[in-house]
Chain A
Amino acid sequence: MSANAELIADLEAVVGGAYVLHEPEDLIVYEYDGSVDRGLPAAVVLPASTEEVSGVVRAARRHGAPIVPRGAGTGLSGGAIAHQGGVVAALTRMTRILEVDVDNRFAVVEPGVVNLDLTHAVERHGLYYAPDPSSQKACTIGGNVAENSGGPHCLAYGVTTNHVLGLEVVTADGSVHWLGGRTRESPGYDLRGVVVGSEGTLAIVTKAAVRLLRRPEAVKTLLAVFRELDDASAAVSGVIAAGIVPAAIEMMDELCIRAAEQSVHAGYPTGAGAVLLVEVDGLREAVDEEVDEVERVCLRYRPMEIRTATDPEERERLWAGRKGVLGALGRLAPNYYLVDGTIPRTRLVEVLSRIREISAETGLPIANLLHAGDGNLHPSVLFDERNPDEARTALEIGGRILELCLEVGGVLSGEHGIGLEKQEYFSLMFDDDDMESMAQLKPAFDTGDAFNPGKIFPAGASCVDVFQSAAVARAGAGAWV
């Protein structure tokens, strides 16, 4: 038997023949995630339990094969790509919700549970799972934990790490550990906290105990349309500076508005240069008082129009343009490269205007959609991959935008992670000592670099190909970022 055939036989012994894929036509589905990279694994294995994950890890390691954990493959930084071959461990069969504890407001779930399915499962108790990445109809809790994912409502409620109480993980020797627990505090180092956001490089998550929140009593959405992008940006900074922390503040620029108008007919006035969506939730009285105040701040920046809504359907209509924009960008160009970075919220006006300059200088349009409330930018460079010059320029623009984020005191990624996509920029943010200290976590977890090797840390040039649109397809109809 060839080495590969032996590996496959060993994996089959753990999960059964039906759950090990190794024919090229099967593997190709797992070649991409949402990022610009790709890589073909030697095998894809679909374990159904913690024990099977542990068996898979042991088998792969016996053969020296790297292991790449994978959820739904909607990641945008290449985290689920097997760029060095090896075994992809897809957790998509582990979809059980094992426990819902209504009194203590937590749930224990397997990693393959789709984010929105968890909320659906606990809705009848008046509860929900707060982190709401826009890909929530498709992405998995395991992937969310690995990327420490955020979402529009993370402004008030925090990102994934703020909602994970404990994790069951399989480490690289195949052993199973609980990190953290089911209570709010547990003694010892916060290993749970370092596994969250570790992009599948330290351990495979096989169970997660996550907090559930109560549905708020009231929700109100305010949509403000501005002629000038600068005014909208200044309004965002104004809201934060006024000491208001709404549940969400989202923003779109003129290009996004145009795309959204064409596809979902959101009904924005002509000449609109930017749209702000502010959602406030909580106690009825608090919602009224805060929305009034948000409106007062917006009025200082010459809005063309302000609309508010409380009933769910009307609110959904206000959100429609924002949620439809990603799909709509396809109408403006065959491809887009969506860049993720965070800046201080006081620098929005300046940074967006410099992005405009970059666009003018390079000739490629850049559409800006933002989780503006926490300074998380998603400039999307529009281009045509059939033109190699444009593709190269798009990636260069991505780099320039990241450098710009760092220059104003921001960071390389707000919610999509470093993965393969940004590893070459990592050393712009961290020096050798910083990176060395982070890298020590791998031996501390004794990974032997078995999980997701060659990611996050700089490793020379990564391959260049732009396939984010494919991930959007995977995230399902109506996906938005």
Chain B
Amino acid sequence: MTTIPGTAVRSVSEAVGAERLSGGEGRVIDGIRPAAAVAPESTEEVSRVLGAARRDGLGVAPRGGGTRMGLGGPPERYDLSLDTSRLDRVAAHNPADLTATVEAGITLDALRESLEEHGQFLAMDAPRPDLATVGGTLAAGAIGPLKWQFGSPRDLVVGMKVVQANGRVTKSGGRVVKNVSGYDMARLHVGGLGTLGVIVEVSFKLTPLPRRQATLLAAFDDSGPALSAGLAISNGWAAPLAMVTFDAEANRRGGFTGSARGYFLAVRLGGRPRTLDRQIDDCRRSCDRHGAVCLEVVDAAGTPVLWSKIRDLGWMDDDAPEYTARASVPSSRLPGLIAGLETGGPAPAVVAEPGYGSALVHWFADGERDAVSGAVADARVGAVHAGGSLVLERRPMGSRKIDPWGEVGGSLSIMRRMKERYDPARILNPGRFVGGI
């Protein structure tokens, strides 16, 4: 430990002991390497670390599995990486009440395994569940295709424990599924990028696993009919668990299906046997009506495999895009947005969610950096013009050309005051959130 110099090390090792510390290599954000990394083993230790950080004015970046450290602007200060991975217990699981309370550092995979034994799951997915933690996924608000049916994970959180920047441990909500007792503080931390506090424990409502699952995979000539078929399905009676369209580039990179050409629609369906069959029939008809050139049903065994590939596209270490953006628009504007992406500059790989109104767009640079950043800027304009927003989930290191968050409008003044109240010393992820919060 003596090899790491500076206040950060001294201050944190006094708080929790040098054995919790390690070097900052492997913890780089935007080219900045922190003086140290600390891995607390309890809420109490997180509290002591933050107390020390505040006293000494250290910049702290909370970290779960490290899959989303590219989200947000460059840090104003970054002295300490606060690793939650040792807070990884399931504190309580009440299967008969469909609720669970877990520590923030548990990975999504570990939690899934533990819940699956009871025929339940947490209806929140995110890329790289082998690494991604519950706390990091919530803080980044970075969720996968299951949101089509289950919405934002905010709606699954029933209670939360947070260590505030002043070191105080605070809780809100409860462990039951229906509650209006006090302000719903958890809402601020979901999608808040750890700028108001460090999430240490979360209570969720759970969902019974569907009895059977299957995926309808349809190929079309181009994006228009694929998106229209998706919209028709979302206006029909079937209730997909997830539904995405993807282009040939996404398919080629991700290896979702064998075919090289075409524009695809994938509909993930679940239910008891008769219900599942009926949904497949309905969706199949919608696809036929919109000119599907090929239809395939992926069975129960193939379904999770296909959807993990879709979910993880762009997040595999060996094929990382230059830019990744998440666009959110009113769902009727999605086809226009996507048409714009197809014509403007270097073609990205696009996974979109018809009926939900969002698209994940990956630009793989392949040497055309300037053209790519121009295309990203155009995509932002397109999303805003359509009445929505576009957030950069990943950008080249050190690049400041494009604000990762975009404009958030008049409520920014309230958001800034939020930060002033909850983290006046600006120790938590300073500079990385909207408007430089």
- Residues in A lying within 8 Å of B, measured CB to CB: 101, 103-104, 147-148, 150, 154, 158-159, 161-162, 171, 175-179, 181-191, 193-194, 196-198, 214, 217, 237, 240-241, 243-245, 282-286, 288-290, 342-346, 371, 374-376, 409-418, 422, 426, 429-430, 433-438, 440-441, 443-446, 456
Contacts and interface: CB of A to CB of B under 8 A. Distances in A.
Contacts of B187: 190, 193-194
B406 A187 contact: yes
Contacts of A178: 409-411
B329 to A, nearest CB: 6
B228 interface: no
Q: List the 10 shortest-distance A-B pairs measured between CB atoms, nearest first.
A: A193-B187, A243-B208, A241-B96, A411-B174, A437-B170, A185-B328, A188-B408, A286-B275, A103-B332, A374-B178
Contacts of A182: 330, 387
Contact of B180 (A188, A346, A417): A417
Contacts of B172: 430, 434, 437-438
A283 B357 contact: no
A176 B162 CA distance: 30
B389 A289 contact: no
B274 interface: yes
A445 to B, nearest CB: 6
A189 B176 contact: no
Contacts of A412: 181
Given A154-B178, A161-B155, A441-B421, 6 more contacts: A175-B410, A184-B328, A283-B279, A289-B275, A344-B176, A409-B176
A182 B435 CA distance: 21
B208 A244 contact: yes
Interface in B379-437: 387-389, 391, 405-406, 408-412, 414-415, 417-418, 420-422, 433-435
B148 to A, nearest CB: 10
Contacts of A289: 271-272, 274-275
Contacts of A198: 183
Nearest to A199: B180
B171 A197 contact: no
Among B174, B235, B328: residue with most chain A CB under 10 A: B174
Contact of B417 (A159, A197, A429, A444): A444
Contact of B178 (A159, A214, A288, A443): A159
Given A185-B141, A187-B408, A411-B176, A217 B209 contact: no
B274 A288 contact: yes
Contacts of A150: 178
B238 interface: yes
A446 B435 CA distance: 19
Nearest to B435: A188
Interface string B185-215: 1011011100010000000000111000000
Interface of B: 94-99, 119-120, 141, 147, 151-152, 154-155, 162, 164, 168-172, 174-185, 187-188, 190-192, 196, 207-209, 235, 237-239, 271-272, 274-275, 277-279, 326, 328-332, 356-358, 387-389, 391, 405-406, 408-412, 414-415, 417-418, 420-422, 433-435
B294 to A, nearest CB: 26
11 contacts: A104-B331, A179-B411, A187-B405, A188-B408, A190-B191, A240-B98, A286-B271, A289-B272, A344-B94, A375-B177, A441-B185
A413 B181 contact: yes
B141 A283 contact: no
B389 A183 contact: yes
A188 B415 contact: yes
Contacts of A416: 180
A443 B419 CA distance: 11
Contacts of A244: 208
B97 A184 contact: no
A437 B185 contact: yes
Contacts of A103: 330-332
B208 A414 contact: no
Contacts of B208: 243-245
A282 to B, nearest CB: 7
Contact of A185 (B94, B152, B196, B435): B152
Nearest to A159: B178
Nearest to A165: B330
B374 to A, nearest CB: 22
A346 B98 CA distance: 10
A346 B434 contact: no
